Amino acid sequence: MDSRGPGRGAQVAVRLELEVGGRVRTVSVEARGTSLAVTLDGHPVDVDVARLGPGRYSLRVPGTGRQHDVTVTATGPGGQVDVVIGGAVVAVARRAANVRSRHAAGPSGEGPQRMLAPMPGKVVRVLVKPGDEVVARQGVVVIEAMKMENELRAGRAGLVREVLVVEGASVDAGAPLVVIG
């Protein structure tokens, strides 16, 4: 997110199942101009967002007078993050059903691993090239969705067989990005 907020005309929608404090929450987010339309467990909320720095955001709920500074820190594979809001730390993990890129090779982990885009967005960085050796959890591709950068990591060690995207390309959820064998 830049200081102007998300979107600037483009509408990007993401639907996730998140585990927050042991409870599964369904979250849908759509960029609308300079705000986000968020639906949490079926309850809609509009939120104005401004980026304060890497992983730091200011969230304001219009009409309520509520404003929160939020820090998001990646803590584990598959989008696990700690969210600090109002001094409280909340651990958030994306449900495994939504993390297709980590498990595309099947449960055995044999055969090529096809990294898939977990959300629609724009490829901002490709961190590997064909022939590169990668280790488990190494960054492979960075995708921007709703002006937030998401680093996708290899689920296991291997050799990069194919890179199927280029920087600047728009991708849909489920689009193949990289093949690691």
pLDDT tens column, 120-176:
888 999 999 999 999 988 889 998 887 788 888 888 889 999 998 899 988 887 788
Q: Find, among 44, 36, 39, the residue nearest to 70 by Cα.
A: 36
**How far is residue 158's CA from residue 180's CA, in Å, rounded to a whole number?**
6
The correct CATH number of 13-96 out of 2.60.120.1310, 3.30.700.30, 3.30.70.1450, 3.40.50.300 is 3.30.700.30
The confidence score (pLDDT) of residue 48 equals 84
Residue-wise pLDDT for 25-62, tens only, equals 777 777 776 677 788 878 888 888 887 877 788 888 88
Tell me what percent of the residues of the chain surpass a pLDDT of 90: 12
pLDDT score of 81 more than 60: yes
pLDDT score of 78 more than 80: no
Under CATH, which number does the domain 99-180 receive?
A: 2.40.50.100
Residue intervals of the chain classified under CATH 2.40.50.100 are: 99-180
Residue-wise pLDDT for 104-113, tens only, equals 443 335 568 8
Residue intervals of the chain classified under CATH 3.30.700.30 are: 13-96
Number of Cβ within 10 Å of residue 75's Cβ equals: 12
The mean of the pLDDT values for the chain is 76
pLDDT score of 75 more than 90: no
Give the H or E element holding residue 103: helix 100-103
Number of Cβ within 10 Å of residue 4's Cβ equals: 12
Half-sphere exposure of 140 (CA within 13 A, CB side): 36
